[in-house]
């Protein structure tokens, strides 16, 4: 059983995010899902990103760090798109982190001072998602996996962003199921 913190994407703490957390709990993991938007949810990524921009991406990241501050250090941090900001920062900078799962996004490791030796991680995204491919995330994921043997990058065919989020136009049931299977296998080893 792993202790897991899941940080939601720009749509907020949606039923899809909650369902993902429930899946992890049913597999025996202790899962916490902080609400970085204080109850607000958004119908589309653009509106959620506009809200995050208004609040400040730095404040969103700090909110995630504050949410984890009272938790034990030996967490696996899962970030979904916007939630990768606090998840990746905590995984890279908080002592005792047991791993990271970065969904739909990946920052260059240098953003938070370099990837810790031996820290396992997974990155999952659709290979032609413009928010992933065109914004440098794909290059960051390839570089991260190439430089760290414990990091795996899983590209999925397609161009959807939140492909595992039920109800979203990009939802791909097969890719979502495979991603979930891979995440559960990762957590079983964490």
Which of 49, 55, 115 is closest to 88 using CA atoms? 115
Q: For the chain, report the end-to-end CA distance as a whole number of angstroms.
A: 8
The whole-model pTM stands at 0.97
In the chain, where the domains are located: 3-189
> Which one is the CATH code of 3-189: 3.90.1150.10, 3.40.50.300, 3.40.50.1820, 1.10.10.410?
3.40.50.1820
Quote the tokens at residue 59: 């404040």
How far, in Å, CA of 76 to CA of 5, rounded? Answer: 6
Per-residue pLDDT of the chain (190 residues; tens, 9 = 90+): 899 999 999 999 999 999 999 999 999 999 999 999 999 999 999 999 999 999 999 999 999 999 999 999 999 999 999 999 999 999 999 999 999 999 999 999 999 999 999 999 999 999 999 999 999 999 999 999 999 999 999 999 999 999 999 989 999 999 999 999 999 999 999 9
How far, in Å, CA of 113 to CA of 43, rounded? Answer: 34
């Amino acid at each position: 059983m792993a202790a897991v913190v899941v940080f939601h994407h720009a749509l907020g703490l949606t039923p899809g995010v909650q369902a993902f957390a429930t899946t992890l709990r049913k597999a025996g993991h202790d899962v916490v899902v902080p609400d970085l938007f204080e109850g607000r949810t958004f119908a589309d990524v653009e509106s959620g990103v506009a809200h995050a921009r208004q609040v400040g991406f730095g404040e969103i990241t700090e909110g995630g760090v504050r949410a984890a501050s009272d938790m034990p250090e030996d967490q696996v941090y899962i970030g979904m798109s916007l939630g990768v900001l606090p998840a990746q920062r905590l995984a890279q900078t908080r002592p005792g982190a047991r791993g990271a799962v970065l969904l739909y996004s990946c920052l260059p490791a240098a953003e938070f001072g370099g990837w810790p030796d031996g820290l396992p991680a997974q990155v999952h995204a659709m290979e032609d998602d413009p928010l992933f491919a065109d914004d440098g995330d794909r290059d960051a994921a390839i570089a991260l996996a190439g430089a760290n043997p414990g990091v795996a990058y899983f590209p999925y065919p397609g161009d959807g962003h939140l492909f595992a989020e039920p109800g979203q136009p990009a939802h791909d049931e097969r890719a979502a199921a495979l991603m979930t299977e891979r995440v559960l296998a990762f957590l079983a080893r964490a």
